[in-house]
Chains A and B, each alone.
Chain A
Amino acid sequence: MSRAPARDEDAALVTGAARFLDDLDPLPGTLVAAVVRSPHPHARIRSVDLEAARAHPGVAAVIGPDEVRAAVRPFPLSTSTPMPYLPSAVDVARYVGEPVAVVVASDRYVAEDACELVEVDYEPLDVVVDTRAALTDEAVLLHPEAGTNIATDRTFSFGDVDGAFERADHVVRGEYTFPRYSSVPMECYGVVAHWGVETVEVWANFHGPFTMVPVAAGALGVPVSRFRLHVPADIGGSFGIKSGIYPYVVLMALASRHAGRPVRWTEDRVEHLLASSSGAGRVMAFEAAVSSGGAVEALRVDLVDDVGAYLRPPEPSTLYRCFGNITGAYDVPAVGIRARAVVTNRAPTGLNRGFGGQQLYFGLERLMDAVAARTGLDVAEVRRRNLVRSFPHRTPTGGLYDSGDYPGALDLLLAKGGYDELRSRQVQARAEGAYYGVGLALVVDPSGTNIGYVGLATPAPERKPGRDKSGSTEIVRASVDLQGVVTVLLGSVPQGQGHATVARRVAAARLGLPVEQVRAVVDMDTASTPWTVTSGSYSSRFAPLVTSAVVAAVDRLAETVWAGASVLLGVPPEGLELADGSVRDPASGASCLFRHAAGVVHWDPGSLPAGAPARLATEGEFVPPEAVAATAEDRINSSLCYGFVAEMVGVRIDPDTLVVTLDRVATVHDAGTILDPVLLEGQVLGALVHGLGGAAYEEFRYSPAGQPTSATFLDYLCPTSAETAFDLVSDHVSSPSPLTPLGAKGCGEGSSMSLPVAYANAVADALAPAGVAIDSLPLHGSVIHELLCERTSGL
């Protein structure tokens, strides 16, 4: 059996030839660092003694609070609340795993030996671990200068919310809790940093957004022009988690400055699970004003995110990333929102595939089930009645849904996924005394973030004119070599998605070339690769934004190639066509090879028509339309494109063991124009399994005293291939976006947002006869057992 790999990247990956950060050895004489971390969730650092560690054989440098205080400025934050954030603890440690000192040595073993010699005198302080507790006045303050643990608290109202609730036939309310979990990339963080004579030069498996580059440079007190970052072409996954690496970039740069040598730090798994990043935990209340016919006339949404010990950028964006689509798939004219983020003695949070979506939809889609229960409507029917039906659709919060066919996708889901069949399985199971449930989730899947939403954390009157933020520009470089091969240079910092494969095919199709005549090169060197503050691999931006910039770049090359061909064909360049590796004059049928036309430009530009473009190395950019700053009324179109996911889960629960088995997962995606069906399927599967992790397995737990209790893979359980052998039905509808040249939308996150709540809805449906309320995750046998026990003892 032989089959070409689905992606250009695969051969290197499956033969071990890919080169990840830890495989690179860019500078001679690089030393190795290890980090001393706080064992306390909250403690004053009375003193730190580094002398024994410094004297240990093989140790080159040890830095601690004094060195950090002297050289590093707190990172700029998204709000003005005084909660200064440095890359390591200087006076107070605020979570278990917070860096306190860095040892640089000849190798990691020696570095870890010396870490044990660092003496830190801690004075333990009271802790606040629970999100609700952090809101209260009694809670200990993490940042006393702020006078509160509430890092941001904003309220918004759009439309006649109060009126709708007064008029409502039903008011349906639910309170929900969403756990912290990660995406658990296979490769942990890695940094090689060198404090050089002229420049701070860093290699890191950071994947943007590049807003963090000025943040890191600023903390080190160097201009961005003297801070050079290289990102390897191969990154072993991230799904958002690695954008939290930048404090370590700063810390290792400082360590290198003290060691006088380049420094490598490779995060190990315990460090990663303890202190890298995770999705924010959330407690939330959702309330719907509902008509007797089941129409949701207004929503009230109260969100409280636990962002951990610091409001590490891009937090509090978990609150705002989905602002424009906070009403989800539904045509709800009015919405009131309160958005808060609190600090707790837990590790800082950040991007995690689905960013903000899984939290939002957990509340919204649990609520829709409650609306169904209250109105006596079927869960599919109540959703159908509320769906957005015409596009473009402006949401009350400012989102502009570009295209879609939500009812069509729902119908396809119910038909292909076998909704009726699963319902009859349920009837049969219940007759046999077993538990069976069906859960739905319909979610709007935003892609191509408009960073304008970052402004929402600041009240409109305080947003300074001329300091607004908006957009999401991408830039791609393209060139033609002397043999007519086109190179597309991507600064898109992929983490395994297959950007090169898709970019190559997009460029080849656009230029009428066989794919063999195009190569895509992935490289990020901030000193030479074009980038913008929004560059990076996040918010599913490759399909809508990067491929659009590829189109713009190769379209510019085409103009030059036409000019070259006009010399060979003796006709004006206008109207020439590119196909089959040739340039053709449709009028005469005459043609020449693409490479010969390019050759004219390379070797004999003097022959080109006057004024014709002669550049075979060019750049194309895509500046998304409709991505403008937040309005004075706080409306924001928080993303460029809005895809759609309709998902259904059938679960069987063994009445004796309470083990939950996924009987079926059905999912229908609308990602606009499908650029590559195999890669899209990979994204769908990956997101589903990620969602399953949050739904049933993964959780970063802390003891009431603030100690993490899931800091190894013995306790932090990710789904493995054995857990993913469920019956899967996957299909697509395609509503091309009018806003991108190819009509493509992002597709990397959808089911990460929908599967957790679809699963919860299914488990809730299964257990409905037992009268058990489901309002949190993860859900597995032990949790269900305890819920059933509570239910019984409460009666």
Chain B
Amino acid sequence: MKAAPFAYCRPDSVDEAVDVLAGGDAKVLAGGQSLVPVLAMRLGRPGTLVDITRLPGLDSLVIEDGQLHVGAAVRQRTIERSAHVASVPLVARALPFVGHRELRSRGTVCGSLAHADPAAELPAVAACLGASVLVRGPRGDRVVDAREFVTGAMTTAVGPDELVTGVRFPVARDGEGFGFAEIARRHGDFALAGVAVRVRGDEATLAAFGVSDRPVVRELTLDDPTESALRPTTDALAADIVDTDGDAHGSRGYRARLLGVLAARELARAHREAHR
């Protein structure tokens, strides 16, 4: 379990980082919490690692234009402990489920998005909220809608010569309610199934994770927002969304069951919150 040989480079600017990436056979190194195990098991062997954690400008964590801007070098733990996190309640509720505290003090928010594990919390939160992912490459800057960001298991719209520089989460508005829940085998494990939910009036957006190769977003109208009344709808939704063979930790059927239950619970909760 030792990595194959690689070159390590710590550029001084984002542009220099993009240049190195453009040279090919290079990979961004952020918090390393997913990448380093991949290297150690020799499941990946990039020629060069481009460490972006100390790049000037990527550490910004600010609210501007109704958006929480999270730079690519910002650790999950930093935002979890920042006063800003309250402005995006879904991020605040999801972060404690992202692995363990020790991992979060190194892992970055953008790294989690870029890694795109199908069971990861943050890509689902970003998709639910319609966050914007900021990407820079040799052809300049572009903005990718979080709902189009993940294109499959561990694959995203970011090209090999591009870099995620940040993500912008819309700040919660009055009259919005949120719900977040997941079930994992143990505390800190990747979810067998989970939901992130936002409700405005009777309109709900739900993002399911752990049940397909990427977060699955659905819009719903809540006619009767009680949990029991929602169950038939969410059970049908779950049967439709779940698109995984499952494994020993959670069969396909079990994941669908969990999704139906969690979706109804969290939709009801978010609706109550929105109408407080």
Interface of A with B (CB < 8 Å)? 108-109, 112-113, 116, 268-271, 656-659, 697, 699, 701, 709-710, 712, 714-715, 717, 719-720, 722-723, 780-782, 785-786, 789
B173 CB-CB contact with A under 8 Å: no
Option from B5, B251, B258 in Cβ contact (under 8 Å) with A113: B5
A658 cross-chain contacts in B, Cβ below 8 A: 254, 257
Would A697 and B254 count as touching, CB distance under 8 A?
A: no
Contact present for B250 and A113 (CB under 8 Å):
no
The interface residues of chain B lying within 8 Å CB-to-CB of A789 are 253
What's the Cα separation between A742 and B258 when bound, in Å? 54
Tell me if B188 and A720 are in contact (CB < 8 A).
Answer: yes
Given contacts A113-B5, A270-B1, A717-B189, 13 further A-B contacts (CB under 8 A): A108-B2, A112-B2, A656-B261, A697-B185, A701-B248, A710-B248, A715-B249, A720-B188, A780-B185, A781-B250, A785-B251, A786-B251, A789-B253
Task: Find residues 3-40 in chain B having any chain A CB closer than 8 Å to their own CB.
Answer: 3-5
A781-B254, A785-B257 known; A717+B5 contact, CB < 8 A: no
Ordered by A's residue number, 5 sampled pairs between the chains whose C-beta atoms are within 8 Å are A657-B262, A717-B186, A719-B186, A720-B186, A781-B254
Contact A113–B257 (Cβ < 8 Å): no
Rounded to whole angstroms, the CA-CA distance of A699 and B251 in the bound complex is 16
- Asked, given contacts A269-B1, A270-B41, A657-B261, whether A785 binds B186 with beta carbons under 8 Å apart, the answer is no
In the assembly, what is the distance between CA of A715 and CA of B254, in Å?
17
Q: Which 4 A-B pairs have the closest CB atoms?
A: A722-B187, A785-B254, A268-B1, A782-B254
B258 and A657 contacting across the interface, CB-CB below 8 Å:
yes
Residues of A within 8 A of B190 (CB): 714
B254 touches A109 (CB 8 A): no
Chain A residues with Cβ below 8 Å from B183 are 657, 659, 781
Q: Is the C-beta of B49 less than 8 angstroms from some C-beta in chain A?
A: no
Please give, as numbers and ranges, the residues of chain B lying within 8 Å of A709 by CB-CB distance.
247-248
| Cα A113 to Cα B42 with chains together (Å) | 10
The answer for the CA separation of A108 and B5 in the assembled complex, in Å, is: 12
Please pick, from B41, B187, B262, the residue contacting A720 in the complex, using a CB distance under 8 A. B187
CB contacts (< 8 Å) of B3 on chain A: these are: 109
Contact partner, B187, options A268, A270, A271, A723, Cβ 8 Å: A723
Chain A CB count within 10 A is highest, among B1, B42, B262, for B1
B257: chain A residues within 8 A (beta carbon):
656-658, 785
The distance from the CB of A33 to the nearest CB of chain B, in whole angstroms, is 13
Chain B residues in 8 Å Cβ range of A715: 247-249
One digit per residue, 1 when the CB lies within 8 angstroms of any chain A CB and 0 when it does not, for chain B 178-193 equals 0000010111111010
Q: How far is the CA of A271 from the CA of B2 in the complex (A)?
A: 12
Interface secondary structure of B, over-half rule: loop
- For B187, list chain A residues within 8 Å (CB): 720, 722-723
Question: What residue in chain B is nearest A789 (Cβ atoms)?
Answer: B253
Which residues of B182-217 have CB atoms within 8 Å of chain A's CB atoms? Answer: 183, 185-190, 192
The answer for the CA separation of A271 and B254 in the assembled complex, in Å, is: 31
The answer for the CA separation of A270 and B187 in the assembled complex, in Å, is 22
**Closest residue to B4 on the A side, CB-wise?**
A113
A781 nearest in chain B by CB position: B254
Does A717 lie within 8 Å of B185, measured CB to CB?
yes
Q: Specify which of B188, B247, B251 is in contact with A722 (CB 8 Å cutoff).
A: B188
Point out the residues of chain B lying under 8 angstroms from A720, CB to CB. Answer: 186-188
- The answer for the CA separation of A112 and B42 in the assembled complex, in Å, is 10
Q: Which of B2, B248, B253, B262 contacts A785 (CB 8 A)?
A: B253
A109 to B192, CA, bound (A): 35
| Chain B residue with the shortest CB-CB distance to A111 | B2
Q: Which of chain B's residues have a CB closer than 8 A to the CB of A780?
A: 185, 249
Interface flags, B239-269, vs A, CB<8A=1, else 0:
0000000111111011001100110000000
Q: Which residues of A contact B258 (CB under 8 A)?
A: 657, 781
Alpha-carbon distance between A64 and B185 when the two chains are bound, in angstroms = 41
Rounded to whole Å, the gap between the CB of B141 and the closest CB of chain A is: 35
Instruction: Provide the residues of chain A in CB contact with B249, threshold 8 Å.
Output: 715, 717, 780, 782
Which of A270, A656, A658, A789 has the largest count of B CB atoms less than 10 A from its CB? A656
* Cα(A268)–Cα(B261), bound, Å: 40
Please, which residues of chain B bring their CB within 8 A of the CB of A270?
1, 41
Question: Which of B41, B188, B246, B249 has the most C-beta atoms of chain A within 10 angstroms of its own C-beta?
Answer: B249
Query: A658 CA to B260 CA in the complex, in Å?
Result: 13
- CA A781 to CA B247, docked complex, whole Å: 12
- Pairwise interchain contact A697-B253, C-beta atoms closer than 8 A: no
Tell me, rounded to whole Å, the shortest Cβ–Cβ distance linking B28 to chain A: 22
Docked pose: A112 CA to B2 CA in angstroms? 7
A791 to B: closest C-beta gap in Å: 13
Q: How near does chain A come to B219, taking the closest CB pair, in angstroms?
A: 24
Please, which residues of chain A bring their CB within 8 A of the CB of B1? 112, 268-271
The listed residue (B189, B250, B261) touching A782 by CB distance below 8 A is B250
Closest to B255 in A: A782
A490 to B213, CA, bound (A): 56
Distance in angstroms between the alpha carbons of A712 and B1 in the assembled complex: 11
Q: Which residues of A contact B2 (CB under 8 A)?
A: 108-109, 112
CA–CA, A109 and B247, complex, Å: 33
Tell me which residues across on chain B come within 8 A of A268, comparing CB atoms.
Answer: 1
**CA distance in complex: A782, B250 (Å):** 5
A108 to B3, CA, bound (A): 10
Cβ-closest chain B residue relative to A712: B41
A377 nearest CB across to chain B (Å): 35
Quick one: which of B41-60 are within 8 Å of A by CB?
A: 41-42
Instruction: Report whether A786 and B253 are in contact in the complex, using a CB–CB cutoff of 8 Å.
Output: yes
Chain A residues closer than 8 Å to B253, beta-carbon distance: 785-786, 789
| B250 touching A699, Cβ below 8 Å | no
Alpha-carbon gap, A720 to B102, bound state (A): 14
Complex alpha-carbon distance, A116 and B3, angstroms: 12
Residues of B close to A712: CB separation below 8 A: 41
Distance in Å: Cβ of B254 to nearest Cβ of chain A: 4
A786 near B186 with CB under 8 A, answer no
Q: List, in ascending order, chain B residues with CB within 8 A of A697's CB.
A: 185-186
Q: Considering residues A116, A271, A657, A719, which has the most beta carbons from chain B within 10 angstroms of its beta carbon?
A: A657
Measured CB to CB, the closest approach of chain A to B41, in angstroms, equals 7
Shortest distance between the CB of B134 and any CB in chain A (Å): 30
Q: A789 CA to B257 CA in the complex, in Å?
A: 11
Cβ–Cβ < 8 Å partners of B250 in chain A: 781-782
Structural contact, A722 and B254, CB atoms closer than 8 A: no
- Please give the distance in Å from A722's CB to the nearest CB on chain B: 4
Nearest B residue to A270 by beta-carbon distance? B1
Minimum CB–CB distance for B31 against chain A, Å: 17
Contacts of A782 in B (CB 8 A): 192, 246, 248-251, 254
Q: Report the separation of the CA atoms of residues A116 and B42 in the bound assembly, to the nearest whole angstrom.
A: 10
Bound: A722/B262 CA distance, A: 21
Q: Shortest distance in angstroms between B3's beta carbon and chain A's nearest beta carbon?
A: 7
In the assembled complex, the Cα of A383 lies from the Cα of B41 at a distance in Å of: 50
Residues of chain B with a CB closer than 8 A to A701's CB? 248
Contact yes or no, B186 A723, CB < 8 A: yes
Chain B residues contacting A109 (CB-CB under 8 Å) are: 2-3, 5
Which residue of chain A is the closest to B187 with respect to CB atoms?
A722
Residue of A nearest to B262 (CB): A657
Q: In the complex, A719→B188 CA distance in Å?
A: 11
- Which B residue sits closest to A721, measured CB to CB? B187
Rounded to whole angstroms, the CA-CA distance of A722 and B184 in the bound complex is 12
Nearest A residue to B261 by beta-carbon distance?
A656
| Minimum CB distance partner of A782 in chain B | B254
Among A116, A271, A723, A782, find the residue whose CB has the most chain B CB atoms closer than 10 A. A782
Residue of chain B at shortest CB distance from A785: B254
For residue B246, which residues in chain A have a CB less than 8 angstroms away from its CB? 782
How many Å lie between the Cα of A163 and that of B186 in the bound state? 50
A722 touches B261 (CB 8 A): no
Which B-chain residue is minimally distant from A701 (CB atoms)?
B248
**Nearest CB in chain B: distance from A186 CB, A:** 16
Residues from chain B with Cβ under 8 Å of A113 in the complex: 4-5
Complex Cα–Cα for A279 and B55 (A):
50
